[in-house]
Amino acid sequence: MRTIDDPFGARRRRVVAVLSVLLTGAAVANLCVGPVSVAPSEVLRVLARAIGLTIGDEPDSRARAVVLTIRMPRILVGVVAGAAAGITGAALQGLFRNPVADPHLLGIGPGASLGGALGSLTGAIEGAIAGGAVGGILAALIVRKLGAARAAEPSRFVLTGLALGAAITAWVGFVVFVADRTRVPPIDFWLLGNLGASTWGTLGTLTLTSGIGVVALLGSARTLDLLSLGEADARRLGLDVDMATLVILLGVGAVIGAAVGAVGVVVFIGLVIPHLVRRLAGAAHRGVLLGSAIGGALMMLLADLGARVVASPQEVPVGLLTAAVGGPFFLWLIRKPEVPQP
Amino acid sequence: MTLLARRVTTAVALMLVVAACGDDDATTTTVTTTTPATTTTIADTTTSEPEAEGVTIIGDDGVTSVIADASRIVSLSGDLTEILFALGEGDRVVAIDVTTTFPEEATALPVIGFGQQLAPEPVLAFAPTVVLANDLTGPVEAIELLRDSGIPVVVLNTGGSFDAVGHKIRTVAEIVGVPEAGDALAADVDAEIQAALDLAAQADSEPRVAFIYSRGPQLLLLFGIGIGTNAMIEGAGAIDVGAEAGIFGAAPLSAEALVAAAPDVVVLPESGLAALGGIDALLEVVPGLADTPAGASGAFLAYDEAYFFNLGPRVGQALMEFVLDLHPELAG
Amino acid sequence: MTFRLAAHGVSYRVGRTAILHPLDLELTPGQLVAVVGPNGAGKTTLLNLLGGEMPPSTGSVTIDGTPIRELAALELARLRALLAQDGPSDIPFPVAAVVSLGRTPHRRVAGNSASRDAAVVADTMEEMGISHIADRLFATLSSGERSLVSLARVLAQESPILLLDEPTGALDVAIEERTMDRIRSRSNDDRIVVSVLHDLNVAAKYADRSIVVSRGEIVADGAPEEVLTSELLSEVYRHPMRVVPHPLRPGPLILVG
């Protein structure tokens, strides 16, 4: 039903629904595909037994191991990490009114890598995830300081973020090479991402750490809509712009930080998905934030599918695929001005 | 979005699902030929009693594994692969990772990736009955996932002293059920090591040696205590400049520190030196190196990485070669 | 219920440059007040100070005796709406959504509801003549259309104080007249309406009170026919200006040159 301030409401709901269906499809594909061949009927039998139903014969223990211990947590971690990338990209683009704002371009991703690398010195993934969140938050606060210059020159803002990111990444390299190599993942993990070590424990910690942040970001939809009027008018309409910026940046830092701690930096999701969602569903943040979360999860799962299949049995870092596909796709997306006709 | 577009996307989604689940062969052809059906007999490593022929091994990571069947081995550490082949049990190896570079037959085996960035599924694709790893294999979660899937993973540290070689040889031999061959091989290698050590004792100089690890100009590390290079350098009767500087493991190379350490000889891995672009490039990249005794006299040595510091079965030969390179006067 | 928007000893300087010298001003509902003067005179600064955009260098601005700086942002937003001269042109929302954003200060206020918001938005768009472009994206509009939408948004805020900076700048003459009519009607129902206007004749036609600002000072303040004189305007604009009685209606006609 069309309400006066939301003529795209129906379209938005459809987009979210379609993305959800596609996401489910991708999850199923990832469950069924991999270097270990497990027939779809066997996947079904394993899943059924896992929830207490007995369908058909007892599945083979290797199939059980692969489906429940390896693929399921990996898919779910991918969903959370992908959603984190998507929603933080959307939030930053709305906050800074800048179409190329993305946590990895603005130095927040690299900050999370540094935090994650230091956190992984504890030897536990929980440390890496917590460290990533802390690193992400600190980097976000630095970005906030940089952001003071943004109103004047959006391109300069991004350049400054990139420089900050590059500097921080160099430090990540330093930590990686100097620290105990049995604890800190190598540099390609931080730069290109990898879902290979995802366990149920990883999933639990990741969801706990980024969960509140995601809820906070989803709740900032109205604030982001208001900020599209520009900071001055947003202020005149009663928004505490400084506080809102702080809260959103903290949320972004924690959410993407935890994801980076768990799976490394996976680029382009936060850049590509929000643009796509805005094009399809309109720019109202209620839809863009949720749609970017689902779309980000979808992109991550599809990229991971490719990562596991393209050089089978070896696995390629998932960030290579998101960059390989996301890069050209992004260039195509920004050819035309973003404003679609309803 | 129009109704038509929505129908199309839903159809695409369904096709994706059907295609993915329906046709396994398309994505797993590289693997299906080596996958046997005998997967239901993998021993549960954590709770069951050892089988009649089960071997109980406590790995260097403190984890106890029970290996009931050592017929299909995935080796994630080059030194352990070498040991298996040296014992004549190379046929058991079904897959390796990039750290295995010797012997040649081993390098022809399928590669699952890099053990230090391990993903469990590619390993499982080869239906191993036991996985051999070293202390750098990781992440730890991936090893856990393999163990949770029912595959014993035995971790044997690469080691930093010559004792490690015998330990690794004997443990691997026990795993594959040839303890006598293991003892014999270990004894041979120990003898080779001893011969080299004895020869080194006759040298009248104690050169200062620095081992610089490199994979290119961006990565230059000085190795110190705890790595096999330390054992090699000190075993060859030389002073390990890195150890002297108190470095544990690896440290980024500081040109000034290197100059202060004044090495007489600099050793590098062959591939690393090649990645740098040769001695001349090395001298350019490390300022002041040219003025050290090593730089001034051009005393640079390069060896294959695995050969030189993996502390594998060839370590005795490597040590002898190194002793003779450092002290040419001892030859014949 | 009358209330006052007042400036007491308010001045503004940036560094050592004085933009506005200390002045006092009092505004009450029921009048459309036009602020006129040449470029750089300080008109926008005066409007912004009245709206609480920045604190004055000296003095204070009060609403019913309460200094603006003591009001919370949301409270202030309910009391006053300010339409600035520029704003971003690339807002990716449809017109109706932009206008609805003006209702933000009233969200979750007792006595307000979503349907009331919707009604206010619909009525305001109708009034401004932009209902037919309700679904068009703001960024695709012409500058005149964008002006009308922004004005509608500000009017939808339904605040007792309306501060407008050049609301009709980009509008053609016909739409300008219609828009000024609507602005004027706001002043009739118990609101304080202050508008910076660059067009002296529009000011003369619609304003009940004209404040002439020149070089940081208020040089005249009163009914347009009294205040807008040839001598004053020629001096203020440093350009010959001639004021004659308007041939078609009561009030002055200002001619340039």
* ipTM of the prediction: 0.91
What is the model's pLDDT at position B283? 87
Residues on chain A bordering chain C, Cβ-to-Cβ distance under 8 angstroms: 3-8, 97, 222, 225-226, 228-230, 232-233, 235-240, 278, 282-284, 338-342
- HEC string of A200-257 equals HHHHHHHHHHHHHHHHHHHCCHHHHHHHCCCHHHHHHCCCCHHHHHHHHHHHHHHHHH
**Per-residue pLDDT tens for A232-259?**
999 999 999 999 999 999 999 999 999 9
Helix axes A72-95, A9-32, angle to 10 degrees: 150
Q: Closest approach of chain C CAs to the CA of A280, in angstroms?
A: 13
Percent of residues in chain C assigned helix, strand, coil, to nearest 5: 40, 30, 35
Ramachandran category for residue B234: left, alpha or beta (phi over 0 → left; psi -120 to 50 → alpha): alpha
Query: Which domains are present in chain C?
Result: 5-256 (3.40.50.300)
- Is B16 in Cβ contact with A37 (below 8 Å)? no
User: Domain of A226: which CATH number?
Assistant: 1.10.3470.10
Subunits next to B (3 or more Cβ pairs <8 Å) are A
What is the model's pLDDT at position A124? 84
Q: Closest approach of chain C CAs to the CA of A152, in angstroms?
A: 12
- Is B116 in Cβ contact with A315 (below 8 Å)? no
The token pair that represents C48 in the structure block: 């912004």
Residues found in chain B = 332
Most C CBs within 10 A among A2, A4, A98, hence the mutation to make, goes to A4
Q: Which residue of C has its CA nearest to A238?
A: C74
Q: Residue A338: which pLDDT band, with cuts at 50, 70 and 90? A: low
Do B51 and B108 meet the contact criterion of CB atoms below 8 Å apart?
no
CA–centroid distance for C248 within its chain: 26
Q: Choose among A33, A66, A183: nearest Cβ to B20.
A: A33
Residues of chain B under the 50 pLDDT cut: 1, 18-52
Question: What is the rounded distance in angstroms from the CA atom of residue B41 to the CA atom of residue B24?
Answer: 24
| In a domain? residue A175 | yes
Subunits next to C (3 or more Cβ pairs <8 Å) are A
Question: What is the rounded distance in angstroms from the CA atom of residue B178 to the CA atom of residue A142?
Answer: 61
Place of tokens 């594994």: B65
Q: Which residues contact B141 (CB under 8 A, 6 or more apart)?
A: A125, A197, A198, A199, A201, A202
Q: Does an interface of 3+ CB pairs under 8 Å exist between A and B?
A: yes
**Beta-strand runs (E) in B62-104:** 64-67, 73-75, 93-96
Q: Closest approach of chain A CAs to the CA of C53, in angstroms?
A: 8
- Is A197 in Cβ contact with B16 (below 8 Å)? no
Q: Which residue of C has its CA nearest to A339?
A: C92
Chain C 32-51, CB below 8 Å of chain A: which residues? Answer: 51
Question: What is the rounded distance in angstroms from the CA atom of residue A48 to the CA atom of residue A51?
Answer: 5
What is the model's pLDDT at position B13? 54
The token pair that represents B67 in the structure block: 């290996």
- Is B149 in Cβ contact with A62 (below 8 Å)? yes
Residue A299: name the closest of A259, A326, A330, A339 by CA.
Answer: A326
The token pair that represents C184 in the structure block: 């004027």
**Per-residue pLDDT tens for A142-197?**
888 876 655 556 677 778 888 888 889 888 888 887 777 777 887 888 888 889 88
User: Does A222 score more than 50 pLDDT?
Assistant: yes
Residues of A in contact with C73 (CB under 8 A): 235, 238-240
Q: Choose among B21, B122, B125: nearest Cβ to A40.
A: B21
Query: Mean pLDDT of residues grouped by 10 in chain C (257 residues)?
Result: 86 94 94 93 95 95 94 94 92 94 90 90 94 93 94 95 93 92 86 94 94 95 93 93 92 91
Question: What is the rounded distance in angstroms from the CA atom of residue A116 to the CA atom of residue A97?
Answer: 29
Domain count, chain A: 1
The token pair that represents A162 in the structure block: 């990139």
Backbone angles phi, psi at A190, to 5 degrees: -70, -35
Which class for B161: exposed (0-12), middle (13-18), buried (19 or more C-beta within 10 A)? Answer: middle
Residues of A in contact with C94 (CB under 8 A): 7-8, 282, 342
What is the model's pLDDT at position C56? 96
Number of CB atoms found within 10 A of residue C162's CB: 25
What is the model's pLDDT at position B1? 44
Do A255 and A185 meet the contact criterion of CB atoms below 8 Å apart?
no
**Per-residue pLDDT tens for A27-75?**
999 999 988 888 888 898 998 888 888 888 888 888 888 899 899 999 9
Does B110 lie at the interface with A, CB-CB under 8 angstroms? yes
Q: What are the counts of helices (DSSP H) followed by strands (DSSP E) for chain B?
A: 16, 12
What is the model's pLDDT at position C2? 66
Place of tokens 């300010």: C82
Residue C193: name the closest of C68, C33, C6 by CA.
Answer: C33
What is the model's pLDDT at position A336? 66
Domain that holds residue A243: 72-333
Question: What is the rounded distance in angstroms from the CA atom of residue A170 to the CA atom of residue A176?
Answer: 10
Does C240 lie at the interface with A, CB-CB under 8 angstroms? no
How many CB pairs below 8 Å do chains A and C form together? Answer: 89
The token pair that represents A225 in the structure block: 């809509």
What is the model's pLDDT at position A332? 83
Question: What is the rounded distance in angstroms from the CA atom of residue A98 to the CA atom of residue A298?
Answer: 24
| In a domain? residue A338 | no
Subunits next to A (3 or more Cβ pairs <8 Å) are B, C
What is the model's pLDDT at position B45? 43
3 state SS of C157: coil
What is the model's pLDDT at position B10? 54
Do A26 and A302 meet the contact criterion of CB atoms below 8 Å apart?
yes
What is the model's pLDDT at position B6? 53
What is the model's pLDDT at position A261? 93
Q: Which residue of A has its CA nearest to C122?
A: A4
Residues of A in contact with B221 (CB under 8 A): 177
Query: Which domains are present in chain B?
Result: 55-177 (3.40.50.1980), 197-330 (3.40.50.1980)
Q: What are the counts of helices (DSSP H) followed by strands (DSSP E) for chain A?
A: 15, 0
Q: Are strands C217-222 and C241-245 parallel, antiparallel or unpaired?
A: unpaired
The amino acid present at B127, given as its one-letter code, is: A
For B11-19, which contacts have Cβ atoms below 8 Å and span 24 or more sequence positions? Answer: B12/A22, B13/A18, B13/A21, B13/A22, B13/A24, B13/A25, B14/A25, B16/A22, B16/A25, B16/A26, B16/A29, B17/A25, B17/A28, B17/A29, B19/A29
What is the model's pLDDT at position B14? 53
For B55, what's the count of Cα atoms within 13 Å in the CB-facing half-sphere? 22
Q: Please give the torsion angle defined by the CA atoms of residues B140, B145, B147 and B150, in that order, rounded to the nearest 10 degrees.
A: -170
Most C CBs within 10 A among A233, A235, A285, A336, hence the mutation to make, goes to A233
> Angle at Cα B124 formed by Cα B60 and Cα A199, nearest 5°?
70
Residue C118: name the closest of A238, A3, A12, A225 by CA.
Answer: A3
User: Does A2 score more than 60 pLDDT?
Assistant: no
Chain C 133-172, CB below 8 Å of chain A: which residues? Answer: 134-137, 139-140, 157
CA–centroid distance for A233 within its chain: 30
Place of tokens 């937003």: C77
Q: Which residues contact B288 (CB under 8 A, 6 or more apart)?
A: B255, B256, B258, B259
DSSP H helical segments within chain B, as ranges?
3-22, 25-32, 78-86, 104-107, 120-124, 140-148, 163-175, 179-201, 228-235, 241-244, 255-261, 270-276, 279-285, 293-297, 305-309, 315-326
Do B247 and B182 meet the contact criterion of CB atoms below 8 Å apart?
no
Q: Closest approach of chain C CAs to the CA of A109, in angstroms?
A: 27
Q: Which residue of B has its CA nearest to A125?
A: B141
Q: Choose among C77, C118, C134: nearest Cβ to A238.
A: C77
Q: Which residue of A has its CA nearest to C100?
A: A5
Q: Choose among C77, C91, C135: nearest Cβ to A342.
A: C135
- Is A69 in Cβ contact with B149 (below 8 Å)? yes
Task: Give, as one character, the DSSP assignment of residue B126.
Answer: T
- Is A199 in Cβ contact with B251 (below 8 Å)? no
What is the model's pLDDT at position A119? 92
Q: For the whole model, what pTM was predicted?
A: 0.83
Place of tokens 């081995």: B73
3 state SS of C154: helix
What is the model's pLDDT at position A321? 94
Residues of A in contact with B21 (CB under 8 A): 28-29, 32-33, 40, 43
Question: What is the rounded distance in angstroms from the CA atom of residue B216 to the CA atom of residue A193?
Answer: 23
**Per-residue pLDDT tens for B238-287?**
999 999 988 888 887 888 888 888 999 999 999 888 888 888 888 888 88
